[in-house]
Amino acid sequence: MNLARLSFPKTAKKGEIIEIRTLISHVMETGYRPDATGKVVPRDIIRRFTCHYDGEEVFRADLWQAIAANPYLSFTTVATKSGELTFTWEGDNGFRHVESGTITVT
Amino acid sequence: MIRLLSLACCLVAALPVLAAEIKTRDRRSGFDFMTPSSQDMQRDDMLNPGMLWVLEGEALWQQQAANAPSCAGCHGDAKDSMRGAAARYPAFNDRLNRPINLQQRINLCRSENQQQPAFEPESRPLLALSAFIGAQSRGLPIAPPEDARLAPHLENGRQFFKTPMGQLGLSCAQCHDDNWGGRLAGAPIPQAHPTGYPIYRLEWQTLGSLQRRLRNCLTGIRAEPFDWDAPEMVELELYLMKRAAGMNIETPAVRP
């Protein structure tokens, strides 16, 4: 299933600052809300997001209950070399989703 | 005396205006009542969480059921076959002899042609498929079918819209025809045009159908909502689409 959307330039010049944007489908249930029967819905959130650029970690974010459902993250990095961008979302209940794409640097 | 008389005339003249339907040139989408940041969220597909459902719907469109064709198996590329479909619903169904909305059409197709159990109301796959089909009409004007059989249902919907309901005794028209542009508890009152359903509503933190939105309004005026896909709800949908005829489809829209 298409769980996440990515957006970053496919090609860039060496040294150029590139913007990376990600959107993922996730309920981000806070653990504070009661359901229709009054029982508290257990917490279910993404706790960590990381971005690796050709194996090197270039961005990391911790996510918390106050972050909206279907979190959108945007950040920048410097295009250094051609390689793979790997995006990993990890969270409660063993949630783990990985997406990747390649960037060509000239 | 003349002054008094003219004042009385003005009052009498003002009364029907107050209860009149919105003129075509004054119609505005809920989009126009939003903050610029919410508008940006809808405009940019990368920011619009509704696109996650559209993508999911696209996958479901291709998905084969056991011993039955996928949606694409009969309808082919949705870009062509579903273009404008969402702009035409609710439409009259011959077999059921009443109008049905797009979600009911999807479920009929599913039970009749795919021999699969119907999706639950407001379930994720049903929302995903209707978002995907709706998105194929993006930018196209709402075009309710010219079908004489719809006329009595349309009239029922119109009556429903104008009838005071619930403990607060409010009608849809009192807010959305007479007082649009005003504020209710700090939030702008829009004109209630169903241009972008299913919508990603920030308050819900998820995608939801027009019926979910209508149920919200009904409980808001402390009326008991009709059941999912109740004929009354479909007739109201029918009237709302007629009322918004010619306005552009925005699916998946973002709303606060």
| Cα–Cα dist B131/B249, whole Å | 11
Q: Tokens for B100?
A: 């049905």
Nearest in space to B34 (alpha carbons), one of B189, B175, B141, B194: B189
pLDDT of res. A1: 54
In chain B, which residues touch A (CB < 8 A)? 46-47, 49, 51-52, 55-56, 58-59, 202, 205-206
Query: Phi-psi region for residue B24, left (φ > 0), alpha (ψ -120 to 50) or beta?
Result: alpha
| Cα–Cα dist B104/B256, whole Å | 26
Label residue B2 by pLDDT band (50, 70, 90). Answer: low
Q: Each residue of A38-47: pLDDT tens digit? A: 999 999 999 9
Q: Each residue of B182-210: pLDDT tens digit? A: 999 899 999 999 999 999 999 999 999 99
Identify whether the C-beta of residue A88 lies closer than 8 Å to the C-beta of residue A55. no
Quick check: A70 and B55 CB within 8 A?
Answer: no
Q: By mean pLDDT, which of A59-68, A71-80, B15-24 is the weakest?
A: B15-24
3-state helix, strand, coil in chain B (%, to 5): 50, 10, 40
Beta strands (DSSP E) in B125-235 are 183-184, 187-188, 199-201, 206-208
Q: Is the pLDDT of residue B10 over 90?
A: no
Considering only CB atoms, which chain B residues are within 8 Å of A27? 205-206
Quick check: B59 and A1 CB within 8 A?
Answer: yes
In chain A, which residues touch B (CB < 8 A)? 1-3, 5, 7, 21, 23-25, 27-28, 68-70, 72
Q: Tokens for B171?
A: 């009608």
pLDDT averaged over chain A? Answer: 96
Q: Is the pLDDT of residue B3 over 80?
A: no
Signed CA dihedral, B217, B220, B226, B232: sign only: negative
Q: Is the pLDDT of residue A16 over 70?
A: yes
Quick check: A23 and B206 CB within 8 A?
Answer: no
Opening angle at CA B45, ends B43 and B48, nearest 5: 80
List, in sequence order, every residue forming a beta bridge with B189; answer none if it has no partner: none
Q: Could you tell me how far CA B20 lies from the centroid of its own chain?
A: 21
pLDDT of res. B12: 42
Residue B119 has a CB neighbour count (10 Å cut-off) of: 20
